[in-house]
Chains A and B, each alone.
Chain A
Amino acid sequence: MTQQVAVVLAMLAAYMAVIIFIGFYSSRFSRGTMEDYHMGSRSFKSFVLFSAVFGANISAVTLAGAPGAAYHAGWIIWPYFVTSWAWCTPLLFYTVGSRSWLLGQKFGYMTVSEVVGNRWKSPTLAVVLSLTLIIYTVPYLMTGLLGAGRTLEALTDGYVSLNWSMILVAASVLTYLLLGGMRGAAWVNTFQTTVFMLGSIAIFVVIANALGGPAEATRRVLEESPELITRGKMSMRQFFSYGIIVAFSPIVFPQLFMRLLTGRDPKTLKRIMCFYPIPALVMMFLMATLGMWGSSAIGGLKGAESDAILPLLLTEYTPIWMMGILGAAAFAAMMSTMDSQLLSVTTMITRDFFSRSRLSQASDATMVRISRILVFVLAILALILAVFSPAGIITIIEFALGGFACLLAPVIGALYWKRCTHQAAIWSVVTSQICLIGLETGLLPEGLKFGFLSGLPAIVVSIVVLVAVTFLTPTPQDEGTREYFELFAESRKG
């Protein structure tokens, strides 16, 4: 074992010990109920909630995917995300978050499927939505493992293999999640968000310096690969369509949606809404710019290999002790998303499936035990999938995000449109997912994409079908519709 490997492993071990300690400490505050394990008793204040929400959103995409994509496509990768997602997602905190939070407070809802399905008291819709959300969350979860695994593998110069790296990361996340549930995850995320935000700034400053300063690093890119500056590697249609997809999808991420519902009051949500765009811009700008500079500093990476550009730059240009600290920052970002995803999928399975079975009679303590087992099983499943995944992080994410984005139309329909029917919501989900998968797998002709990413035509299908089927089916007269709109009207009156 070289000195580099020993130092990196020691620092990462110290970092893991801190987060496991936080998880352990948080477990002392556990109330042993489902509400507490999955929602932290809905008591989070602004800073913890911001860290939990932002940590759930900043993932392997930012610390591995964005620099990796910028390595091949250039600086356009930061606006690819930031000039839509960074401000549109907080806007949707208002559109979707404010009404969902009200419903969560009034009826105790925890998941997207409960909020949408109970609008029409439709178990079928809730199950269809849950299944769709789980199907897309698992590959997203896998990208966290892949990103963290590739980072550790690169930082230790291959001493810890990709598979062992992923096992180590999964084991750490599982430990604090099994101990502390949502409260443990949120507290750990507060620490992790601080680490990865400060760490990213440090990474940028150190590497920019080592490359001769930003102007010199950019000049070299301009000389060797001018298309990374002129944006010749990305089509305008791809840029446009991804803007829509990346803006529409995060609000329906189960992990993010659930965390919005854990806010103590609307003021907390408003505060995080106003703060959210700033770190989103800073993080993406720094990481994508580093990835672009990396193309001239470390050439020759093919396809998904570029996901490891950040640790490779760290290995090449920073002192050994700093690699450990900065590696921890990368880990923090990836783990904070993984823990929330594991918890949210578990919540969906227990709330949307088990609560409709014989298990609905089980005590809270039993359900919490079952939730813990599910967290473990899901982590193993994601690990197995990650071991066999050959694709780059951004490729997996573009597909998963498209799937999530198609669900926004039925969510808006449930919260804002009285005339909307549950049949319309079900058909909107089903047809848009068929369209997305058909276009991605080539079962539907490529021409139907019109040069856009598959997610965009699928979103259009979701909206058109929602509107068309709504007008083809009778006006809903159910109890759920009345309850929802009375509650919204009351809240509007203040």
Chain B
Amino acid sequence: MSADIQSRRKKELIAYLLAAILMIIRVDFWWWDKEMPMVLFGWINVPMLYQFGIWVAGFALVIYVANFIWTD
């Protein structure tokens, strides 16, 4: 197996591992069912920002896979 394929496999493994971690930590149990103050524009609270952060991380992962793993 060529070094290039091996390196791509390693990258794939890391990407899937990160995806699995994101799927787990999206459940922010530490804030669940608690009243949190609205910290942005008077209608966005910290758990909402955290969930947005999960989306950003997932999006970054998609960009990484498209540009560094998926070859034409």
- A 64-90 contacts with B by CB, 8 A: 75, 78-79, 82-84, 86-88, 90
> Quick one: which of B19, B24, B55, B72 has the most chain A CB within 10 A?
B55
Asked whether A232 is an interface residue with its Cβ less than 8 Å from the other chain, the reply is yes
Q: Among the listed B2, B48, B59, B70, which residue makes an inter-chain contact with A94, where contact means beta carbons less than 8 Å apart?
A: B70
A274 vs chain B, min Cβ distance (A): 5
Whether A87 contacts B23 by the Cβ 8 Å rule is no
Residues of A within 8 A of B35 (CB): 226, 229-230
- A 207-224 contacts with B by CB, 8 A: 214-215, 217-219
B6 vs chain A, min Cβ distance (A): 11
Asked whether A482 is an interface residue with its Cβ less than 8 Å from the other chain, the reply is no
Contact with B along A478-494 (1 / 0, CB 8 A): 00000000000000111
Whether A218 contacts B43 by the Cβ 8 Å rule is yes
Q: Among the listed A83, A214, A266, A492, which residue makes an inter-chain contact with B58, where contact means beta carbons less than 8 Å apart?
A: A83
Whether A218 contacts B58 by the Cβ 8 Å rule is no
Asked whether A133 is an interface residue with its Cβ less than 8 Å from the other chain, the reply is no
How many A-B contacts are there with CB distance less than 8 Å?
Answer: 105
Whether B59 contacts A239 by the Cβ 8 Å rule is no
Asked whether A369 is an interface residue with its Cβ less than 8 Å from the other chain, the reply is no
Whether B66 contacts A274 by the Cβ 8 Å rule is yes
- How many residues of B are counted as interface, with CB atoms below 8 angstroms from the partner's CB atoms? 37
A271 vs chain B, min Cβ distance (A): 8
Chief secondary structure at chain A's binding surface:
helix
In the complex, A230→B22 CA distance in Å? 21
- B 1-15 contacts with A by CB, 8 A: 2, 5, 8, 15
Contact with B along A220-249 (1 / 0, CB 8 A): 000000100111100010011001100100
In the complex, A244→B24 CA distance in Å? 10
Asked whether A5 is an interface residue with its Cβ less than 8 Å from the other chain, the reply is no
Asked whether A168 is an interface residue with its Cβ less than 8 Å from the other chain, the reply is no
Residues of B within 8 A of A236 (CB): 27, 29, 32
Whether B55 contacts A494 by the Cβ 8 Å rule is no
- B 35-72 contacts with A by CB, 8 A: 35-36, 38, 41-43, 45, 47-48, 51, 54-55, 58-59, 61-63, 65-66, 69-72
B3 vs chain A, min Cβ distance (A): 13
In the complex, A215→B48 CA distance in Å? 14
Enumerate 24 A-B pairs (CB-CB under 8 Å) in ascending A order.
Answer: A79-B51, A83-B58, A87-B58, A90-B62, A94-B69, A94-B70, A215-B43, A217-B43, A219-B42, A230-B33, A230-B34, A231-B33, A232-B33, A240-B24, A240-B26, A243-B23, A243-B26, A270-B70, A273-B65, A273-B66, A273-B70, A274-B63, A281-B55, A494-B72
Contacts from A to B (Cβ < 8 Å): 75, 78-79, 82-84, 86-88, 90-91, 94, 98, 214-215, 217-219, 226, 229-232, 236, 239-240, 243-244, 247, 265-267, 270, 273-274, 276-278, 281, 492-494
Top 9 closest A-B pairs, CB basis? Answer: A87-B58, A215-B42, A218-B43, A79-B51, A83-B54, A214-B43, A277-B59, A215-B43, A83-B26
Contacts from B to A (Cβ < 8 Å): 2, 5, 8, 15, 19, 22-24, 26-27, 29, 32-36, 38, 41-43, 45, 47-48, 51, 54-55, 58-59, 61-63, 65-66, 69-72
